[in-house]
Amino acid sequence: MFVLEINTSNFGSTGNIALHICEACEKSGIDTAIAYAKSRSNMKKSVPNGLLIGNRFSRNLHLVLSYVSGFNGCFSLISTIEFLRKLGKIPDIIHLHNLHNCYINIPSLFRYIKNHKIKVVWTLHDCWAFTGRCPHFEMAHCDRWKTGCHDCPYPKHDYPASYVDCTKKMWKLKKEWFTGIENMTIVTPSQWLAELVKQSFLKDYPVRVINNGIDLSVFQPTPSNFREEHGITPDKKLLLGVAFGWGKRKGLDVFCELAKRLDDSYQIVLVGTDDGVDQQLPPNLISIHRTENQRELAKIYTAADVFVNPTREDNFPTTNIESLACGTPVVTFETGGSPEAIDETCGSVVPCDDVDALEKKIRRVCEEKPYPPEACLQRAKAFDMKDRFEEYVKLYEGIVHE
């Protein structure tokens, strides 16, 4: 069996998922390769069986043309044809991840799939596959994607950026491209996204939920002197927020409001900030810029009394699981798939934008301690990445032997 993974990157959450799936496959005797854009970021590391799509010029040109035209994924034609020719043998399965970042000609890719009757697994990491443009639509309160996008309320400068609104045409093109495949299984990391898929033009394909997983050998209770280093006394209640790309979507404004409401017996720490975010923060918050060191992050999770995730748009945030795996309970908004990692033993869920309810739950968790670390650790075991990636291997084997 030969499985080809395609993703925009070889790093970050989606890139690491694809790479770990390849590793699980190789251990099971399945040949794999991973294809991604030739970009400056992707060239920082060498990947076994890595295949480059295009070059930096074709990528940058695609980005510009997509922005000015609104047609995302309709360029890089020559690069895509060359990539498909260089493949040599036809894959038994093509596993798609993120296709939206202007690096591959989507109609050519799906024509290749249909012409060769290739079996497909497509992991949706957001909603882009069945909308005219946006990866998320909850904050815009938009449901046009169900019947045909138009008059898009999604900000034109938000990812993927587009100067003009071509969502009506792009929705129709995606429906044409993505339907009519003989054998395709949609995978979603959350039940929430699975239910949305069933309401979209992808509804005729089987949908399977495979949660994101984490490395439990890294994310585990990890004592440290983090509190001492930042002047947080043992009697203070430490509230933690972790995100990469802080803004309203991730609830930055909510933390600023909590900082006003909570007295000095509480300390808020935000991880993943930058200089621009720092300028928006009140002085009583501790800001820690992005760290790629997961073991250091485990120390911070362990030091916290509660992990607060006021995300307004998310599929299945692994930060919730990382916190649980370090023995720290979670309080989150009821948005997307964020509540799905939590049960009654390890955290609380409150309505989106209800800061009063969020504050009340935070105080309860910190003062009454209803969620012991042992319960959090037990819940985290359900999201061991080794088990989750093995699910993909079994999915491949089942599909090939149908």
Instruction: Annotate 108-157 with DSSP letters as a single string.
Output: HHHHHHHHTT-EEEEE-SSSGGGSSS-S--TTTT--GGGT---S--S-TT
Domain ranges in the chain are 2-213+385-400, 226-383
- In which band, very low, low, confident or very high, does the pLDDT at 401 lie, cut at 50, 70 and 90? confident
> What mean pLDDT is predicted for residues 237-263?
97
Share of the chain above pLDDT 90, in %: 97
| SS3 of 325-386 | HCCCCEEEECCCCHHHHCCCCCEEEECCCCHHHHHHHHHHHHHHCCCCHHHHHHHHHHHEHH
> What strands lie across the sheet with 2-6, from one edge to the other?
50-53, 31-37, 2-6, 93-96, 119-123, 184-188, 207-209
Give per-residue pLDDT as tens, 21-77: 999 999 999 999 999 999 999 999 999 999 999 999 999 999 999 999 999 999 999
Give per-residue pLDDT as tens, 148-158: 999 999 999 99
**2-213+385-400: CATH number:** 3.40.50.2000
3-state secondary structure of 313: coil
Quick check: 292 pLDDT over 70?
no
Phi first, then psi, for residue 179 (nearest 5°) are -100, 165
Characterize 268-301 residue by residue with b for buried, 16 or more Cβ atoms within 10 angstroms of its Cβ, and e for exposed. bbbbbbeeebeeebeeebbbbeeeeeeeebbbbb
* DSSP states along 189-204: SSHHHHHHHTTSTTTT
Q: How many CA atoms lie within 13 A of 178 on its CB side?
A: 26
Token digits of residue 146? 């169900």
What's the predicted TM-score (pTM) here? 0.96
> What mean pLDDT is predicted for residues 87-115?
97
Q: Which of 331, 336, 328, 340 is nearest to 359 (CA)?
A: 331
**Dihedral in degrees, nearest 10, Cα atoms 139, 140, 145, 146:** 80
Phi-psi region of 81 (alpha: psi -120 to 50; beta: other; left: phi over 0): alpha
Neighbours of 206 (CB within 10 A): 9
Return the amino acid letter for 332.
Answer: T
> What mean pLDDT is predicted for residues 85-106?
96
When the pLDDT of each residue in the chain is averaged and rounded to a whole number, the result is 96
3-state secondary structure of 69: helix
Share of the chain above pLDDT 70, in %: 100
- Whether 2-213+385-400 shares its CATH topology with 226-383 is answered yes
* Sign of torsion over alpha carbons 189, 190, 196, 197: positive
Give per-residue pLDDT as tens, 308-337: 999 999 999 999 999 999 999 999 999 999
The CATH number corresponding to 226-383 among 3.40.50.2000, 2.60.40.10, 1.10.645.10, 3.30.70.330 equals 3.40.50.2000
